[in-house]
Amino acid sequence: MKRLHWYVIKSFLGPFFMTFIIVVFVLLMQFLWKYVDDLVGKGLDLKVLGEMLFYAGFGLLPFAFPLAMLLASIMTFGSLGENYELVAMKSSGISLFRIMRPLIFISIIVTIIAFYFSNNILPYTNLKFTTLMYSVKKQKPELILKEGVFTNEMDGYNIKVGRKDSKTNMLYDL
């Protein structure tokens, strides 16, 4: 491999890992906002929360790979263009395809890894996450009942609670 290819790869890998971590973090925060009602007040261990975030993070990797590739490629070629390195490469007679060739090769490798991950590992982690989320939701079902709101979370019943006493766990005005 030529020095130019190594230079493009080195300038790509830093932004790729940085954007990958940021995208996974943002998607995990979206997951937490989505399931915050199911997790808060259940008295869950940090181990269970960590396991849930671990499985959710694995579930978000197929979304994070393409976004990280796109953002890192834009940042790499933007940096090369800003520092006039891209102009120097083009003026020395190197085609844009030849400059982009290492990134195309890396994107093919990432695509193969993402396909293998989605085909073999993701179904297992989705099963583990779903069973863990189901057990968390069923841990304290009285927390589903909110004051003044109809709920049909229990099969065959529509329940409206007028008032809940948190100290005695009594429900009033059903």
What distance in Å separates the CA atoms of residue 135 and residue 137, rounded to the nearest whole number?
5
Please state the separation of Cα 22 from the chain's center in Å. 9
Task: Please give the chain's pLDDT, 174 residues, in tens.
Answer: 688 899 999 999 999 999 999 999 999 999 888 877 777 766 677 888 888 889 989 889 989 999 999 999 999 999 989 999 888 988 999 888 999 999 999 999 999 999 999 999 999 999 999 998 888 777 665 556 677 777 776 677 777 777 777 677 677 777
| This prediction's pTM | 0.73
Q: In whole angstroms, what is the distance from residue 2 CA to residue 7 CA?
A: 9
Contacts 24+ apart (CB under 8 A), 134-143: 136/38, 136/39, 136/42, 136/44, 136/48, 136/52, 137/38, 139/42, 139/43, 139/44, 140/41, 140/42, 140/43, 142/169, 142/171, 143/41, 143/42
